[in-house]
Amino acid sequence: MRSPDENGALDRASDLLDEGRPEEALAELAKAPHDDPDRALVEALAHLDLGDLERARTALAMAREALPDEDPDLLFVGAELALAEWRPDAARMALEHLTRSDPSASAWSRLALCHDLADEFDAAQACLARAHDLDPEGCPLPLRLSAADFDATLHDAVQRLPDDARAAIERVRIVVEPMPFAALAPREEPASVAPDVLGLFVGATTHDLADDVSAELPPTIYLFQRNLERMASGREALEEEIRITLWHEVAHFLGWDEDGVDALGLA
């Protein structure tokens, strides 16, 4: 039997997590009973948001000791950990079980991601349709662009860059892929590249190039079309998401860290 959330700490932590504030969620969890499996599940999700897979695994293991294997929340968090570890097949198995036993819009949406990662785009679209049926407002059906339309939108985003940034990225390859792939994730830190990432910069920055630092990879910006499409509810929103993602990755090429990129106000 699950413990009652007597002081509301779990609810507050879950809300903070939904708001993208995992550090504050972890602080709130300190007020919840340490032997509560629900606390362990929320803790695991918070550590996943922070990219700390080891602590996420520890928290999930605690929950598994107290909950049955078919528990819906346990299945969902286990799938999230498997995705962060770039084990989409394991995530898919857990989510398929979940959608049979306790279907939810979030479960169908994440199962769609697993199909997308396997290039099973029709199956992914069917899962997104199921998610939309359960939560039309929270899970709008994505707009799909043709390759030509996407390239035209990307070209417009490049043209809207500041002159110095546009000149700088003449040295950068811009590659559009349907989805990210495991080879892009560092083996020692797989969570640094999430399966639902929108864009990614790899290779030497302008600072590296100026210092004549050798690099195995040429400067490359990846944009992941299906993830971008999934994030937007219409054409205007998708065009803006492409622009923001491109600018974000250009800023990394220019040598900005995440804090610096956030300070640019691109979101």
The pairing of beta strand 173-177 with beta strand 199-202: unpaired
pLDDT of residue 266: 47
Q: Which residues of the chain have pLDDT under 70?
A: 1-6, 206-217, 256-267
Q: Minimal CA–CA distance to 64: which of 92, 46, 41, 81?
A: 41
pTM more than 0.75: yes
Q: How far apart are CA 259 and CA 243, in angstroms?
A: 19
Query: How many CB atoms within 10 Å of residue 138?
Result: 11
| In the chain, domain spans | 9-134, 147-263
DSSP state of 183: G
Reduced to 3 states (helix: H, G, I; strand: E, B; else coil), residue 177 is: strand
Interval 184-193: pLDDT, tens: 998 888 889 9
Beta-bridge partners for 173: 220
Strand partners, 222: 175, 200
In the chain, at which residue ranges do the beta strands (DSSP E only) sit? 173-177, 199-202, 220-224
pLDDT at 188: 85
The pLDDT value recorded for residue 206 is: 66
pLDDT tens for residues 104-141?
999 999 999 999 999 999 999 999 999 999 999 999 99
φ/ψ (deg, to 5) at 200: -155, 135
Task: Note the pLDDT of residue 232.
Answer: 87
Q: Given 1.25.40.10, 3.40.50.1980, 1.10.3720.10, 2.60.120.10, which CATH number is that of 9-134? A: 1.25.40.10
Q: What is the CATH number of domain 147-263?
A: 3.30.2010.20
Q: Can 9-134 and 147-263 be said to share one CATH topology?
A: no
Nearest CA to 153 among 143, 163, 162? 143
